[in-house]
Structure 1
């Protein structure tokens, strides 16, 4: 909505008629005091504000509404018949005006400025809504991540207590990826990585264990393989899941559990 403020009714009604003819909603005020009351209670996209009015003039109105929450996104355009005083024009911009139009008002120029201000206002509102939506999504994601991290930490604690650790092996580049639990299980420190050879040696497995049969056999490709090995007087259970791509072994996923006497 647009608020037209002028102490001369003829000026107000002529601008109101033009703007309403072009589809804009218009409200009116005939003094600075009335304008302030309306700005306190309503939200406007634009205020067309006459500079020279008795009582509270246009400059005072602009200065007073700076702290109004409802007017924080409202554009102010000053209207004045005094277009030769550069100091008044500068003062208008210093009071927060986005433009300064001289009287008599060129309606074509006014409509161009009004349409531009409305487009900027709508773009700002869209950005504000998008930013708010992004903020809400961010908070949801943050909350979800905290919940997920909590679950991961609980699973990690359970795995640590049960002596369970995970690992991956990629056959194409022979890359062995131990989990922090596996490092801790074998080295006592989750930051010291276990190599593939150390892993096989500790379990008493042959060096070609990860690439040998029966993993490539079609009949067991979807089966898990459980093996028990004794190493250093410790017993481990290994659960292995091979993954194939076009009949070729691509990756092996594994879980290792150290079996205590109390659990056997």
Structure 2
């Protein structure tokens, strides 16, 4: 049995039903479907509905004859490629064959028809049609394959670019981490070596109460720096794997902001930055208090580093989107180039290379706020300070 996709339609047109029946019987074969038309008008209707491998037209028909039908077919885009074979009972002396070829026919047959000749000629056109259709399918498959390969190639190029970015990011990360971890570690190691030296010399006077307190304060600051760096790295790992945990509960945002500001006051004062809090009425919503504290702590750390020793203003208020936290400094500001990437991993503002940190604080803060279906806005100009605004929906 021929494949269904190889089924071929043939059109036969003759005004005498008995001629149609005879030709239909002659053309019947597996995979071939014969369509009959008793007039040129019926043939045109069939030509609109089906795709034909061959049209066999009787020349002499009342109304529109075979030659006129052929001219219509040749003038129409849909049918102009269909091979046409004319059939006529008229004598050869009328020279119909010449006129038929002028009308675009590929062959001309005289009645009575030779059954073997008819089958042979039709078989040639059917085979040509099937070959052309198979070739068209193969070309379509090749084109589809080419398009798929282009898509795959684009994906490979994108993956290659992403891998190259990942490698650069890894190298930058390792460079920053090694530098940032060495700073507190070197200080701790130096302090330990100095104490060991004093103990080796039995110089206990070096460990007076005041000096011990200073040593402990230094140690605590360096250890807290290490803990902060490690926590940042762990949070980035959780974000990348989609495991950053958010545990929302009913929270007063105004009180939360007040608590964080109070805990930062001493650090800010040590850096010469006055921390000013605008107190507001309670703002109740459903948030992860620990994570929102982390966001505010990162913004305050940022303000402390780049605030140029000038006052930092913090406020919490209700707004159209739910709740808003603002942190405004009067420091070095952020360039337009840096504004485009400050929420990316390992990015730090221009001119901040000497400041401590992995460049992860704003990235982590942004991801935490996004996890609460909120957003962070930033307004800044170089030399004019920066305003960070955290917008949070109240939650359910």
Q: Name the TM tier (shorter chain).
A: 0.5 to 0.7
1:65: which partner in 2? 73
In the TM superposition, what is the alpha-carbon distance from 1:134 to its structure 2 partner? 0.8
SS in 2 for 1:44: coil
In the TM superposition, what is the alpha-carbon distance from 1:76 to its structure 2 partner? 1.7
Is 2:45 the counterpart of 1:44? no
In the TM superposition, what is the alpha-carbon distance from 1:147 to its structure 2 partner? 1.3
In the TM superposition, what is the alpha-carbon distance from 1:126 to its structure 2 partner? 0.8
In the TM superposition, what is the alpha-carbon distance from 1:161 to its structure 2 partner? 5.9
In structure 2, the CA distance between the partners of 1:109 and 1:85, relative to structure 1 (3 Å rule), is same
Of 92, 116, 121, which residue of structure 2 is paired with 1:108? 116
CA RMSD of aligned residues (A): 3.1
Of 102, 117, 133, which residue of structure 2 is paired with 1:125? 133
Which of the pair has more CA radius of gyration?
2
In the TM superposition, what is the alpha-carbon distance from 1:46 to its structure 2 partner? 1.9
Aligned pairs, number:
168
Unaligned runs of 5+ in 2: 1-8, 173-353, 358-396
Q: Distance in 2 between matches of 1:155 and 1:62?
A: 63
2:148: which partner in 1? 140
Q: Which has the higher strand share?
A: 1
Is 2:16 the counterpart of 1:8? yes
In the TM superposition, what is the alpha-carbon distance from 1:5 to its structure 2 partner? 0.5
Unaligned runs of 5+ in 1: 165-260
TM-score by length of 1: 0.54
In structure 2, the CA distance between the partners of 1:86 and 1:122, relative to structure 1 (3 Å rule), is farther
Is 2:38 the counterpart of 1:25? no
* C-alpha contact (below 8 Å) 2:74/2:81 kept by paired residues: no
2:64: which partner in 1? 56
Q: Distance in 2 between matches of 1:84 and 1:119?
A: 29
Q: Distance in 2 between matches of 1:138 and 1:72?
A: 30
In structure 2, the CA distance between the partners of 1:73 and 1:128, relative to structure 1 (3 Å rule), is farther
Q: Distance in 1 between matches of 2:47 and 2:21?
A: 19
1:156: which partner in 2? 164
* C-alpha contact (below 8 Å) 1:40/1:68 kept by paired residues: no
In structure 2, the CA distance between the partners of 1:159 and 1:86, relative to structure 1 (3 Å rule), is farther
Between 78-87 and 59-68, report the one with greater CA deviation. Answer: 78-87
Q: Distance in 2 between matches of 1:63 and 1:18?
A: 27
2:377: which partner in 1? none
User: What do residues 48-71 of structure 1 show as CA deviations (whole Å, max 9, x unaligned)?
Assistant: 111221211112212222365654
In the TM superposition, what is the alpha-carbon distance from 1:105 to its structure 2 partner? 1.2
In structure 2, the CA distance between the partners of 1:150 and 1:17, relative to structure 1 (3 Å rule), is same
